[in-house]
Structure 1
Amino acid sequence: MTTDKSPIKRVPDEQELKRLFELIDLNHTGKVDATTLHKAFHETNHPLKNSKSAIDNLFHSLDSNGDDVIDFQEFKDYMRKADAQIHAGFVKIDKDQDGKIVKSELKRYLKQIKDKDVEDFSEFSRHISSKSSSDYITYDQWREFLLFVPRMNGSRLRTAYEFLNNNEADLNSEGDVTVVNEFLKGIGFFLAGGLSGVVSRTCTAPFDRIKVFLIARTDLSSTLLHDKSELAKQHNNVPLKKIRSPLVKAATTLYRQGGLKAFYVGNGLNVMKVFPESAMKFGSFELAKRVMANLENVEDVSQLSKVSTYIAGGLGGVVSQFTVYPIDTLKYRVQCAPLDTKIKGNKLLIETARQMYNEGGMKLFYRGVLVGVAGIFPYAALDLGTFSALKKWYIHKEAKRLKCSEDSVIMSNLVVLPMGAFSGTVGATVVYPINLLRTRLQAQGTFAHPYKYDGFRDVLQQTIKREGLPGLFKGLVPNLAKVCPAVSISYLMYENLKRAMNLE
């Protein structure tokens, strides 16, 4: 008995596409309206012939220019894209690449993407295998069945199952499959991302405070009063001039002038900022991956190329940066206020915001935004992209080792932590100079950073002139000390929340 080879991805030729178009062009006019498409489904005895909403959805997908008729060019564009997606879906299930899918494997896969038991599977599988009683499905049977099935919720297979089993609970009046569920799932990604960011940022707030302190101060010694100063007289038990490490100097200065609370200055604003920021970053990343999956004609985001994954990560970062940039600028201004100021808490926040608005209006809140976006795109791309690449590699390796499907592999928290730390470290180190210059643009003219700049080029030149090239990496160590646990905690929370909320 010969064994079929795994199907080779091919582009349907013109002749085949014309033959398929003739199946629905019953009037031979070169134009197919919705009524004709419904009639064609009945005449060809298609499994979805009684599913009005499914046929309507397919019609709208085929009618790309929205003129209420389908011509051959529209049909050809849709079918070539559909053919590529159908092939990708088959290859994903056909683990041994023998050109056949065992029906029991298909049932397990369908159960995974539906996240619940599959009923009446025998009848459903017979539709796919052209009523054949064999226990496997060939690629030609798979392709023939799915070509005229609309792709809703990212899966033709799931769409066919929902309609054939009359699962009206997942349909709305317009025939969209699981629209409500998908909407709630999308909200879930944003919520999981936001909560992950809040927990992570609160745990690492002191590191962020020291980082901003070091970035703002161009000459750290000027931030430390000598023993003869009033502050040194009050705390003469530890002569500050004997402390050498900038990190220790910064931490000691903050503690002496404000106690433990000094390390959490701006953290309330941080939490207000990080929830939408993290929510937009992770949520937009998931959304961008789905958009890239459509552009690449793949059925699932797990099949995305590395380039598309990194681009999706960068886009997620850009969206999050624009969302919270005004809050970010206000946070830096608050943190750069005099440490001995009598105005504290919300009063300091409101007063700083008022002064900023009086000084430059809303434009001041977006000062340095272009630099911020320039920095956040590569950072988010490297961070999210590297983590996704590592996750994909690990799951593939484990599935191969355990001889199971990749969908069955669950990453241990002990694996997520170092992955998050590594991806965050790579991204933060590469783009740190850009973030430093952006922070100085945001903090310019404050008590801690009195210098003024005309723009990105000016702040770059002044920084190098005053502090040399090492000045571009000032505060990197505490930043990495914050980034490693922060990103690790964030990914740890995000992955577990996704699993708990059935988002994956």
Structure 2
Amino acid sequence: MPKSYTGSVATDQALAGFTGGAVSTICLHPLDLIKTRFQVNAAQGAPRIGGTLRSFQQIYKSEGFRHGLYRGLTPNFAGATVSWGLYFYLYAGIKSSMPVDPTTKRLGPTQHMAASMIGGALTAVVTNPFWVIKTRMCTTQKTAPGAYQSLFGGLTSLVRTEGVKGLYRGMIPALFGVSHGAIQFMAYEQLKYWRQEVKEKRWEKQFLEEIHSKATSDSVSMDAKTIEKLRKARLLEKKHDWETLSTIEYLCMAASSKVAATVATYPYQVLRSRLQMMTNPQGEVIYTGVMDCIRKIKRSEGILGFYKGVAPNVIRVLPGTCITFLVYETVSAWCRKHARYGLDEEQRI
């Protein structure tokens, strides 16, 4: 049984993901609100340079800090923490059930992508109601007629007026978005493996140079079997050195993987936000479905219409992802260090 703090590695991962999502959401909610408003604004053209800062200032002046920039924080917080916690729990659990490569003793990129997509799809189904409420709260002022005043009040009103079906507005684009997490985590895991392998190979080189230097200076020769035995013993001692990466390394890999996934999959976020705002203030249906939404955006707003809000989103996801993954890795490491259950493989030998 691997070392864990709670008794389950998957639960440890869920705790780490929950904490990372919570810290990131609280810090960066205003950028999420601005991004969402850009996404649903069909009348406005592609935002100009500096549009994010101007929107920030305008919202702050007209609506205030708490009821303006932080409107919709509760559903966003609930959705983000449940999403990250549940996702990491499922992701870790699914990975643990997969067979590793007998040569590398690791999972391959296809397996990471499969685990991420399955975990992401299940998470999307559970959390979609939170995102519907968050979108509607972020795109309406608190004083607007019919505006949701809270997460619970929004859920109650939504079910009463639109039924259970209303909770799953934008579900199809959300499932498209599973590819976002799959690309992100596949890239993140492979970057981690790549960096660990670089550090391991560097250690192997230093080890061989040390053995050669010692044999030359002491005039003592060692056969291949003795060197291999010594290498394995040192390997167990030093394995932690390259498996544990630095904070900067984690941040660079998290940011790189997130930007790649965001650029590749961003249009689904615009589609999801538009579909979650199914009616205009006059109560008329704007989009009848995903394909209708795609056609109307392309016809009236062009290709750039699918990338509305991408600037505040990139500004948000870079520090957001760095915060989330840094907290996630820190809490994961803390859980391993203070493990109360199980033993590492090398401790059982």
Q: TM-score, normalised by structure 1?
A: 0.55
- Gaps in structure 1 of 5+ consecutive residues: 1-112, 116-179, 222-242
Which of these residues, 259, 267, 271, is aligned with residue 64 of structure 2?
A: 259
1:218 touches 1:449 (CA, 8 Å); kept in 2? Answer: no
Query: 1: CA distance between counterparts of 2:152 and 2:86?
Result: 25
The aligned residue for residue 41 of structure 2 is 217
> 1:250 — aligned with what?
55
- 1:187 and 2:11 matched: yes
Q: Which residue of 2 aligns with 1:367?
A: 169
How far apart in 1 are the matches of 2:326 and 2:278?
36
Residue 98 of structure 2 aligns to a residue whose secondary structure is helix
The residue number in structure 2 matching 1:388 is: 189
1:318 paired with 2:121, answer yes
Match of residue 207 from structure 2: none
| 1:194–1:275 Cα contact (<8 Å) kept | yes
Pick closer, same or farther for the CA change 1:430–1:448 going to 2, 3 Å. farther
Alpha carbons 1:217, 1:449 under 8 Å: kept: no
Residue of 440, 446, 458 corresponding to 2:292:
458
Q: How far 1:206 sits from its partner (Å)?
A: 1.3
Q: Distance in 1 between matches of 2:51 and 2:282?
A: 16
Match of 1:207 in 2: 31
**Compared with structure 1, are the counterparts of its residues 248 and 275 closer, same or farther at alpha carbon in structure 2 (3 Å cutoff)?**
closer
Aligned equivalents of 2:71 and 2:288: distance in 1?
Answer: 28
Separation in 2 of the partners of 1:369 and 1:400?
45
Structure 1 residue 321 displacement after superposition? 1.2
In the TM superposition, residue 198 of structure 1 has moved relative to its aligned partner by: 0.5
Greater share of residues in helix: 2
How do 1:143-292 residues align onto structure 2 when only pairs under 5 Å count?
183-220=7-44, 245-261=50-66, 262-292=68-98
Alpha-carbon separation, structure 2, partners of 1:387 and 1:244? 30
**Which residue is 2:144 aligned to?**
341
TM-superposed deviation, 1:350: 4.3
Percent identity over the alignment is 22
Q: 1:448 to 1:299 in 2, by over 3 A?
A: farther
Could you say which residue in structure 2 is the equivalent of 1:55?
A: none
Shift of 1:347: 3.8
Give SS of 1:303's match. Answer: coil
Secondary structure in structure 2 of the residue aligned to 1:454: coil
**Structure 2 contact 142–149 (Cα < 8 Å) conserved:** no
Q: Tell me the amino acid that sits aligned with residue 189 of structure 2.
A: S
Q: 1:475 to 1:304 in 2, by over 3 A?
A: same
Shift of residue 467 of structure 1? 0.7
Secondary structure of the residue aligned to 2:266 is: helix
Alpha-carbon distance in structure 1 between the residues aligned to 2:267 and 2:328: 28
The equivalent of 2:216 in structure 1 is: none
Report if aligned partners of 2:280, 2:286 keep a CA contact under 8 Å in 1: no
Q: Following TM superposition, by how much is the alpha carbon of 1:339 offset from its aligned partner in structure 2, in angstroms?
A: 5.1
**Matched letter for residue 164 of structure 2:** M
Give the AA of the match of 2:85: A
1:400-439 to 2 correspondence within 5 Å? 400-403=201-204, 404=235, 406-409=239-242, 410-439=244-273
C-alpha change, 1:114 and 1:425, in structure 2 (3 Å) is closer
Written as runs of structure 1 = structure 2, the 5 A alignment for 1:29-40 is none
Greater RCO structure (CA 8 Å; 6+ sep): 2
Question: Unaligned 5+ residue runs, structure 2?
Answer: 205-234, 345-349
Asked whether the 8 Å contact 2:10–2:90 carries over to 1, the reply is: no
Aligned partners of 2:187 and 2:284: how far apart in 1?
A: 38
| Cα distance change of structure 1 residues 491 and 349 upon mapping to structure 2, 3 Å threshold | closer
Worse-matched range after superposition: 181-190 or 394-403: 181-190
Q: Where does 1:293-312 land on structure 2 (aligned, <5 Å)?
A: 293=99, 298=102, 303-312=106-115
Q: Matched residue of 2:319: which SS?
A: helix
Q: Distance in 1 between matches of 2:192 and 2:335?
A: 19
Give the SS at the match of 1:320. helix
SS in 1 for 2:279: coil
What is the match of residue 355 of structure 1?
157
Aligned-partner Cα distance in 2 for 1:407–1:395: 10
The one-character-per-residue Cα deviations of 1:326-345 (angstroms, maximum 9, x if unpaired) are 1111111111223543888x
Cα deviations across residues 391-445 of structure 1 (Å, max 9, x unaligned)?
Answer: 0110111111123555442100011111111111111111110111011101221
Asked if the contact 2:9–2:92 (Cα under 8 Å) also holds between the matched residues in 1, the reply is: no
CA distance in 2, matches of 1:448, 1:501: 52
Of 400-409 and 455-464, the range deviating more from structure 2: 400-409
Partner SS, residue 402 of structure 1: helix
Confirm or deny: 8 A CA contact 1:189 1:286 kept in the other structure: yes
* Cα distance in 1 between the residues matched to 2:270 and 2:97: 32
Counterpart residue type for residue 397 of structure 1: V
1:475 aligns with 2:280: no
**Residues 338 and 448 in structure 1, CA contact (< 8 A), matched pair in contact too:** no
State how far apart, in whole Å, the 1-side matches of 2:127 and 2:317 are.
Answer: 19
2:129/2:155 contact within 8 Å kept: no
Matched residue type, 1:453: Y
Alpha carbons of structure 1 residues 496 and 457: separation in structure 2 relative to 1, 3 Å? same
Partner letter of residue 256 of structure 1? K
> In the alignment, which residue of structure 1 is the partner of 2:211?
none
Aligned to 2:209: none
Partner AA of 2:303 in structure 1? L
Match for 2:42: what amino acid?
T
- Deviation track 1:307-356 (CA, whole Å, cap 9, x = no partner) reads 11122122222222112111111111111223543888x84444433332
Using the alignment, how far apart are the partners of 1:419 and 1:428 within structure 2?
14
TM-score (norm 2): 0.78
Q: Deviations over 1:105-136 (max 9, x none)?
A: xxxxxxxx866xxxxxxxxxxxxxxxxxxxxx
8 Å CA contact 1:321–1:372 kept in 2: the answer is: yes
Superposed displacement of residue 451, structure 1: 5.5
Q: Contact 1:336–1:448 at 8 Å: present in 2 too?
A: no
Return the match for 1:488 from 306, 322, 334.
322
Q: Point out the structure with max Rg over C-alpha.
A: 1
